[in-house]
Amino acid sequence: MKIIMLGAPGAGKGTQAKMLADKYMIPHISTGDIFRANIKNGTELGQKAKTYMDQGLLVPDELVCDLVVDRVQQEDCKDGYILDGFPRTIPQAEALDAALANIGSKIDYAVNVEVPDENIVNRMSGRRACVACGATYHIVHSPTKEEGICDRCGKELIVREDDKPETVTKRLNVYHEQTQPLIDYYTKQGALKEVDGTMSMDEVFNAIVNILG
């Protein structure tokens, strides 16, 4: 079962990917993890990626795709895998399809966790973080005992830059420009499955499991 997770930042696709990976006992693969593993192990692909990252440049699509395809050919992926955060663009999706076709493989499902932008802005702007110990909270879903104070260490909580409404809105705009076309791409392939991400975490998970069968 080879799955791609799609969804805007804050839609909860990463959480769902981890839960699905546990249920089906297949690896949850993010490009960040692949980069770190290859750089740490000093692989040829990792060294190439590092030269771009050290200069603050984006790693080219072709190289990212090589890293992903190298990862999915490892033994633990023989029963499938879940890709989270890749592909992000049509060129990446096309490169991935071509590379998988070369090894006689293809993606089975592209699962889109659909959440309206307004919900995501509200969801993320409710997050609070402790700069002292790193604990995270949410003013609605996991509030602290005392407002604005960390339960764990008693220090003050902040709204991270990433969670401010204007930052979230910018990220969502970039997502729609780049990634929305992927939804059309996988729809044409008959691989796209959509799930209502406004439901509770468990309801979203059960909906995805029903789709995967």
Select from 138, 134, 113 the least CA-distant residue to 125.
138
pLDDT in tens, 141-167: 899 999 999 999 999 999 999 899 999
Q: State how beta strands 28-30 and 136-138 pair.
A: unpaired
Distance between start and end Cα atoms, the chain = 11
- What the chain holds in terms of domains, given with CATH numbers, is 2-124+167-212 (3.40.50.300)
pLDDT in tens, 52-62: 988 888 888 88
Please give the average per-residue pLDDT across 71-89, as a whole number. 94
User: What pLDDT is stored for residue 162 in this prediction?
Assistant: 86
Beta-carbon count within 10 A of 202 CB:
9
User: What pLDDT is stored for residue 58 in this prediction?
Assistant: 83
- The residues annotated as belonging to the active site are 13, 88, 127, 160, 171
DSSP bridge partners of 129: 136, 158
Q: pLDDT at residue 196 above 90?
A: yes
